[in-house]
Amino acid sequence: METKRSVMGEFRLQVKTLAVIVAGLWLVEIADQVVFGGSLDGLGIRPRQTSGLWGIIFAPFLHGDFAHLISNTLPFITLSWLIMLRSTEDWLAVTLIAAVVGGLGTWLLGAPSSVHIGASGVIFGYFGFLLLRGYFERSLVAIAFSVLVFFLYGSILWGVLPRLDGAPISWERHLFGFIGGVLAAKLMAKPKCKQSEF
């Protein structure tokens, strides 16, 4: 009974956490479009500009328009929850590592005079973490999750490459976010004796 209460408590925490964050993303975009006329997007990551470092914090909460936000919302919820199945603390750690590594990599090597925004850098971090966790942990459960994530979202791997059509997609954020997720998978790999865990 105590274990059941603990599991339900963790589940409620996860639902509330994701609900608050997703609601926050939408409120920020509504405010940006309605009140600020899109000017908040200027707070994104601006490569090699000192003030652009603040974008590492702000960029995941900013989107170019509602279509951009809609395209990020479902994968954010899905991949977040797959990480949370093991623990909410793991999700928080992966989020921070992906945001910092993805943000710094973009700031250092992003195209000059560009501004990078959107939650996709963190989403690619989640994808990298879940995809490579099976490799680093060598547990059946982790490998099964890696296969599932590849089946669901494997096609987004193309997003780490520059677009030949010139579309304004931040492949740098995708690439470095993915690298951050892989780094998190390596750093957070559970010992083999805990193979039964998510």
Contacts of 157-166 with C-beta under 8 Å, sequence gap 24+, read 159/120, 159/124, 160/124
- The string of pLDDT tens digits covering residues 137-161 is 988 888 998 999 999 999 999 999 8
Q: Which fold has domain 2-194?
A: Rhomboid-like fold (1.20.1540)
b/e sequence 171-180, b meaning 16+ C-beta within 10 Å = bbbbbbbbbb
Task: Name the pTM for this structure.
Answer: 0.92
Contact 109, 158 (CB under 8 A): no
Contact 181, 105 (CB under 8 A): no
Kindly report the average pLDDT of the chain as a whole number. Answer: 91
- Indicate if the pLDDT at residue 69 is higher than 90: yes
- Indicate if the pLDDT at residue 194 is higher than 50: no
Give residue 40's pLDDT. 97
CA distance 154 to 147: 9
